[in-house]
Chains A and B, each alone.
Chain A
């Protein structure tokens, strides 16, 4: 995982906005509102925990290429 940087993206059609990903995120890099899912790139530490924890598999990662 180390060295590989990515963006976490949500599939809106699968997501129930349950907030679980926000709960397991160690750095508060995900905010789940009543009608909105938000990812905060600067806070992400690329641990992948949110992706695995999602009960319905609504999260995936997209590599950050050519970026720091």
Chain B
């Protein structure tokens, strides 16, 4: 059996993994990035929408090869068909091509000096004297011992490596959404904005989305509570049928679970770190995880570089501290908002969306929703409804 040594080994080449590999390699340390998939980025488990600001914020080239379409806003639809729209003058987000995007992120990491292995599966941790010394990696049938000072679990929702390293990342089933999506030909929806449908019959606890990748091509998907007795596929097919949309022009089927119900507390244990979906770092309101993965990777990279420079692995713990200080409060607030929205009936949704139609939705999207709540509270349909009133007051 061969033995290999790196400063850092990272499992999972989605978003968080390659971003961290890039930053740590750039600082001059040896990095190995592995992914079990034969082609990095494929298959995707994603609606592919991301805020435009991440490119500048995280130093990612704005490359047309992975930007399918620029997006200017969003429209939400209530169960009875009320709509509220948010539209900007400038591009607010993009719909990516994850197959190309993830691959390019791994390429940037390789260019900075990281080794990148697809079709390489981390099967277990190497543990000696109670300490994780690296990973057992199966690469095209050969089992390799890879030793590393720092082990990073960026292995997505499965979060297997962190759990094998003894970190409790387990979350109960109601803390996951079950996702199902078609990339398909679809016509009749404004292709410059994303579209979201809410309703307890439409998508229990979640929503249906149309994220345009072309004028007549989009990711059309759904997220529902994962402990629902019916499948996500059942609800999406039902929605398409009810909207008279053919399921005979499909280009891709995408499937996956989304951790939406809370975040892993302990992000570092000794020399093992968890980033991205594996740490449940997902925006609990919309279920998007890419921007959060980038943020976590940036913080984790910073402290990994410092720890290696100063030869003091205790500094890794600062990633947990900084993430919870910088991201924790916002994410906990969004989680609270989510828990309130979960209690809304279809009638509540109709009333709220109807009122929201006349307010500044921008604040809601930015997580600064108190003014919107205040506007809702002034409406007679809320003011004279005790339940709605108490639900909204929880958020102030």
Using a CB–CB cutoff of 8 Å, the interface residues on chain A facing chain B are: 16, 18-20, 22-24, 26, 28, 31-34, 49, 52-57
Contact = CB atoms under 8 A, between A and B. Distances in A.
Contacts of A55: 178-180, 231-233, 255-257
Interface stretch (B37-45, B69-77, B307-315, B317-325): B37-45
Interface of B: 36-38, 43, 45, 119, 121, 156-160, 163-164, 170-171, 173, 176, 178-180, 226-229, 231-234, 253-257, 259
B38 A52 contact: no
Given A19-B157, A23-B159, A33 B121 contact: yes
Contact of B228 (A24, A26, A34, A52): A52
Nearest to B43: A16
Contacts of A31: 160
A20 B170 CA distance: 13
A31 B159 CA distance: 11
Nearest to B163: A28
A54 B45 CA distance: 14
A35 to B, nearest CB: 8
A20 B257 contact: yes
Contacts of B231: 54-57
A56 B222 CA distance: 12
A33 to B, nearest CB: 6
Nearest to B121: A33
Chain A: interface secondary structure?
A: loop
Contact of B45 (A18, A28, A32): A18
Contacts of B233: 55-57
Contacts of B43: 16
Contacts of B38: 34
A54 to B, nearest CB: 7
Given A56-B231, A56-B232, 15 more contacts: A18-B255, A18-B257, A19-B158, A19-B256, A20-B158, A20-B178, A23-B259, A28-B160, A32-B158, A53-B178, A53-B227, A54-B178, A55-B231, A55-B255, A57-B234
Contacts of B119: 34
Nearest to A24: B173
A2 B179 CA distance: 29
Given A23-B158, A28-B163, A31-B160, A52 B257 contact: no
A52 B255 contact: no
A55 B253 CA distance: 12
A54 B234 CA distance: 12
Contact of A16 (B157, B173, B234, B253): B253
A26 B256 contact: no
B226 to A, nearest CB: 4
26 contacts: A16-B43, A16-B253, A19-B156, A19-B257, A20-B176, A20-B226, A20-B255, A20-B257, A24-B173, A24-B176, A24-B257, A28-B160, A34-B36, A34-B119, A49-B227, A53-B176, A53-B178, A53-B227, A53-B257, A55-B178, A55-B180, A55-B231, A55-B255, A56-B180, A56-B231, A56-B255
Nearest to A52: B227
Contacts of B164: 28
Nearest to B230: A57
Contacts of A56: 180, 231-233, 255
Nearest to B278: A23
B229 A52 contact: yes
A6 B138 CA distance: 30
A16 B226 contact: no
Nearest to A57: B231
A24 B119 CA distance: 24
B235 to A, nearest CB: 10
Q: Most chain-B Cβ atoms within 10 A of its Cβ — which of A24, A26, A32?
A: A24
Contacts of B157: 19-20, 23
B36 A52 contact: no
Nearest to A26: B170
A29 B383 CA distance: 50
A4 B254 CA distance: 33
Nearest to B169: A23
B78 to A, nearest CB: 25
